């Protein structure tokens, strides 16, 4: 499996932005991670550029370049002309000096190869002015055609890219040398390996910057002494056409951006476009907006002007005629499964879409239409949970079911203390016939808001506070929670009226029992006192009688 572009699993957050921006939807969601499908990928780099979590990474080939330098007599660099935009206007002489410090034998601009290629394009237009010709400089466009629009292969110029043409030239001029291309593109790594023996290694500008930083090498301010040919315009949108000698009887057209290329290729395959030369680039703005430029994915006026100023629009870089710069590009078969309408509808039904009106085609899942997403589900590239409106509806339904069936009253207020939501239990507690009668109105209509004002003012939530609702003659246990982040108050009421009534009855019964007990005790104490009093009198009389008896006995 090709690993030019891969996933950093821990970073992926299921935002589906990579799917939304992938022109061929070569992303498979597996285990909640967005994995690239290499067989379908055209290496345009849009997923790398647009990922907000930096979850995609490009294969680093710096060690391969170092190995080439260590094992070879000479290693030459073909440097993409967009370098002037990436390295803040550096000259080719400055880049040559810096890269020689890394061990390279020398550096030349890929614009030399671009000059060779553009001359071949001019010959093709001269030979077949009525033909439809698509430029072949962008490997991502070539791959797009090979994999998805093989019907358009006959229109694709079977010509080497500037990278290949230049590296081939370098190898002829420096026998036995190795070549390294350095540029803003990911797909060039694949192109080099697909056509072995021409380009031995490909580095991105980012890899070069990291390598130089590790060696503490800086690019010096050195003026350019080389011929400033118009082929230096190649990395800008329309740059190929601006470098060509154009014919009046040929229509020239610029199409950049992968999505625009897809739309154009559909028209071409349907026979809607002919008799023209088309400059086609996968990056919107061409190579100065390449995925590994400093300002990746967007071509600004600054980048365009830097390249424009670096070129001379009137002359060509002098190069010898190259006899062999053709290359064969064949169809690349990828497995495509197109399910039937019944299978698609079964998937749509599972996500609550039973009619065309329910197919929102919102694109939140990354696919343009619900049916495209359903096809992806069937092909194992997507799952049902990627439909956010369906999940939201399901979550709302689930949450409503819980809220409306809980025995506790729930009320949600905004910071103006207006009712946003109220469930059935709360309606019963507060004697509200229908929730629609109070939603949107101030809570003061049905309840005393004093506690709510206090909670908002102090920021201190109230938990399980017993409260008597006088206007409803009910007792509740109330919790008030203030969510400052979402600017809402949530009130949870537990009706404890029956418990309070029972409690009060028991309290009254206890009070009455205590009163009766007190009376009984008092009465008993009175009886005891009376008995004690009677016993005291009897004892005294007995004592007197016994003393008299004693005296009488003594007298005898």
CATH number assigned to the domain comprising residue 48:
3.30.70.20
Which tokens in the block code for residue 354?
A: 């039973």
- pLDDT for 410: 94
**Is there a domain that residue 164 lies in?**
yes
**How far is 526 from 532, CA to CA, in rounded Å?**
10
- pLDDT for 533: 74
The residue that leads in pLDDT, 395 or 184, is 184
Can you give the CATH number for the domain in which 208 is found?
3.40.50
- Clarify whether residues 144 and 178 are in a common domain: yes
The full DSSP string for 254-322 is: EEESHHHHHHHHHHHHTT---SEEEEEESSTTGGGG-TTSTTTT---HHHHHHHHHHS-TT-----PPP
- Clarify whether residues 281 and 389 are in a common domain: no
**Is there a domain that residue 535 lies in?**
no
**Is there a domain that residue 330 lies in?**
no
Q: Is the pLDDT of residue 542 over 70?
A: no
- Clarify whether residues 150 and 243 are in a common domain: yes
- pLDDT for 537: 67
Q: Is the pLDDT of residue 260 over 60?
A: yes
Strand partners, 422: 411
- Clarify whether residues 148 and 76 are in a common domain: yes
Of 104-118, 291-305, 474-488, 511-525, give the lowest mean pLDDT range.
291-305
Q: What is the DSSP letter of 58?
A: E
Among 400, 426, 448, give the residue marking a domain's end: 400
Provide mean pLDDT across the span 263-290: 93
Number of domains composing the chain? 4
**Is there a domain that residue 512 lies in?**
no
Assign 440 to helix, strand or coil. coil
- pLDDT for 24: 95
- pLDDT for 322: 61
**Is there a domain that residue 505 lies in?**
no
pTM of the full predicted structure? 0.74
Provide mean pLDDT across the span 308-318: 77
- Clarify whether residues 52 and 70 are in a common domain: no
- Clarify whether residues 102 and 26 are in a common domain: no
Neighbour-count burial for 396-407, b at 16+ CB within 10 Å, e otherwise = eeeeeeebeeee
Position of tokens 């890899």?
207
- Clarify whether residues 203 and 242 are in a common domain: yes
- Give kind and range of the element (H or E) at residue 106: strand 106-109
Exposure of 368 in the CB half-sphere (CA atoms within 13 A): 6
From the number of C-beta atoms within 10 Å of its C-beta (0-12, 13-18, 19+), residue 304 rates as buried
Provide mean pLDDT across the span 46-55: 90
**How far is 515 from 502, CA to CA, in rounded Å?**
20
Q: Is the pLDDT of residue 418 over 90?
A: yes
Q: Is the pLDDT of residue 373 over 70?
A: yes
The residue that leads in pLDDT, 544 or 108, is 108
Predicted confidence (pLDDT) per residue in 149-171, tens digit: 999 999 999 999 999 999 999 99
- Clarify whether residues 394 and 257 are in a common domain: no
By residue range, what is the domain housing residue 172? 60-310
User: CA-based angle 31:36:42, to the nearest 5?
Assistant: 165
Provide mean pLDDT across the span 103-124: 94
**Is there a domain that residue 18 lies in?**
yes
End-to-end CA distance of the chain: 142
**Is there a domain that residue 251 lies in?**
yes
Average pLDDT value over all residues in the chain: 89
- pLDDT for 204: 96
The residue that leads in pLDDT, 14 or 399, is 14
**Of residues 477, 404, 485, 490, the one with CA closest to residue 443:** 490
Among 292, 310, 328, give the residue marking a domain's end: 310
Predicted confidence (pLDDT) per residue in 230-248, tens digit: 899 999 999 999 999 999 9
Instruction: Kindly give, in sequence order, each residue whose CB lies less than 8 Å from that of residue 91, ignoring residues fewer than 6 positions away.
Output: 84, 222, 223, 224
- Clarify whether residues 145 and 249 are in a common domain: yes
**Is there a domain that residue 487 lies in?**
yes
Position of tokens 């020689």?
100
Of 6-20, 327-341, 536-550, give the lowest mean pLDDT range.
536-550
**How far is 497 from 299, CA to CA, in rounded Å?**
70
Which tokens in the block code for residue 465?
A: 């506070």
- pLDDT for 190: 96
Assign 251 to helix, strand or coil. strand
Highest mean pLDDT: which of 8-12, 392-396, 441-445? Answer: 441-445
The full DSSP string for 144-180 is: HHHHH-GGGGGGB--B--HHHHHHHHHHHHSTT-EEE
- Clarify whether residues 370 and 436 are in a common domain: no
Contact of 261 with 141, CB cutoff 8 Å: yes
Strand partners, 27: 36
Provide mean pLDDT across the span 524-540: 74
Can you give the CATH number for the domain in which 478 is found?
3.30.450.20
- pLDDT for 264: 96
Residue 1's pLDDT band, with cuts at 50, 70 and 90, is very low
Cα 88 to chain centroid distance, Å, stands at 31
Provide mean pLDDT across the span 272-285: 92
Cα 542 to chain centroid distance, Å, stands at 110
Among 374, 400, 426, give the residue marking a domain's end: 400
- Clarify whether residues 51 and 68 are in a common domain: no
Q: Is the pLDDT of residue 320 over 70?
A: no
- Clarify whether residues 246 and 348 are in a common domain: no
């Amino acid at each position: 499996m090709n690993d030019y572009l891969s996933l950093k699993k821990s970073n992926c957050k299921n935002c589906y932005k990579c799917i939304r921006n992938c022109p061929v939807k070569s992303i498979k969601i597996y285990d909640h991670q967005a994995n690239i499908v290499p067989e379908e990928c055209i290496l345009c780099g849009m997923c790398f550029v647009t990922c907000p979590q930096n979850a995609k990474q490009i294969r680093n080939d710096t060690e391969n370049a170092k190995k080439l330098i260590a094992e070879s007599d000479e290693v030459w660099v073909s440097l993409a002309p967009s370098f002037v935009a990436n390295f803040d206007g550096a000259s080719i002489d400055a880049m040559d000096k810096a890269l020689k410090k890394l061990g390279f034998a020398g550096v030349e601009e890929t614009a030399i190869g671009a000059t060779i290629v553009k001359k071949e394009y001019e010959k093709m237009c001269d030979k077949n002015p009525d033909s439809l010709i698509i430029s072949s400089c962008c490997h991502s466009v070539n791959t797009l055609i090979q994999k998805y629009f093989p019907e358009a292969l006959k229109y694709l110029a079977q010509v080497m890219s500037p990278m290949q043409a230049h590296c081939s030239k370098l190898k002829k001029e420096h026998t036995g040398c190795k070549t390294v291309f350095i540029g803003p593109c990911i797909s060039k790594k694949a192109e080099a390996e697909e056509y072995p023996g021409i380009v031995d290694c490909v580095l991105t500008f980012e890899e070069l910057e990291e390598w130089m930083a590790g060696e503490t090498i800086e690019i010096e301010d050195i003026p350019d002494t080389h011929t400033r040919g118009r082929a230096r315009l190649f990395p800008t949108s329309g740059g190929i056409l601006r470098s060509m000698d154009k014919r009046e009887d040929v229509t020239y057209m610029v199409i950049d951006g992968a999505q625009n290329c897809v739309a154009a290729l559909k028209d071409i395959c349907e026979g809607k476009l002919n008799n023209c030369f088309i400059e086609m680039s996968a990056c919107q703005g061409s190579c100065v907006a390449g995925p590994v430029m400093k300002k990746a994915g967007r071509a600004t006026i600054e980048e365009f002007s830097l390249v424009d100023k670096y070129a001379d629009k009137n002359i060509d870089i002098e190069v010898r005629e190259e006899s062999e710069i053709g290359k064969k590009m064949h169809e690349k078969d990828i497995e495509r499964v197109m399910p039937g309408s019944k299978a698609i509808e079964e998937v749509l039904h599972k996500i609550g879409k039973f009619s065309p009106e329910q197919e929102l085609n919102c694109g939140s899942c990354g696919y343009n239409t619900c049916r495209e997403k359903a096809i992806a589900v069937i092909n194992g590239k997507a799952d049902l949970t990627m439909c956010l409106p369906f999940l939201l509806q399901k979550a709302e339904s689930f949450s409503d079911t819980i809220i409306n069936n809980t025995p506790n009253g729930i009320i949600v207020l905004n910071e103006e203390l207006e009712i946003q939501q109220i469930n059935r239990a709360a309606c019963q507690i507060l004697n509200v016939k229908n929730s629609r009668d109070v939603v949107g109105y101030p809570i003061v209509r049905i309840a005393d808001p004093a506690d709510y004002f206090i909670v908002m003012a102090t920021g201190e939530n109230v938990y399980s506070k017993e409260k008597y609702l006088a206007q409803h003659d009910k007792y509740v246990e109330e919790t008030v929670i203030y969510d400052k982040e979402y600017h809402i108050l949530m009130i949870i009421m537990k009706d404890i009226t029956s418990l309070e009534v029972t409690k009060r009855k028991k309290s009254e019964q206890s009070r009455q029992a205590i009163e009766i007990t007190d009376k009984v005790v008092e009465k008993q104490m009175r009886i005891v006192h009376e008995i004690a009093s009677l016993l005291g009198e009897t004892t005294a009389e007995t004592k007197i009688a016994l003393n008299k008896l004693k005296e009488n006995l003594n007298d005898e």
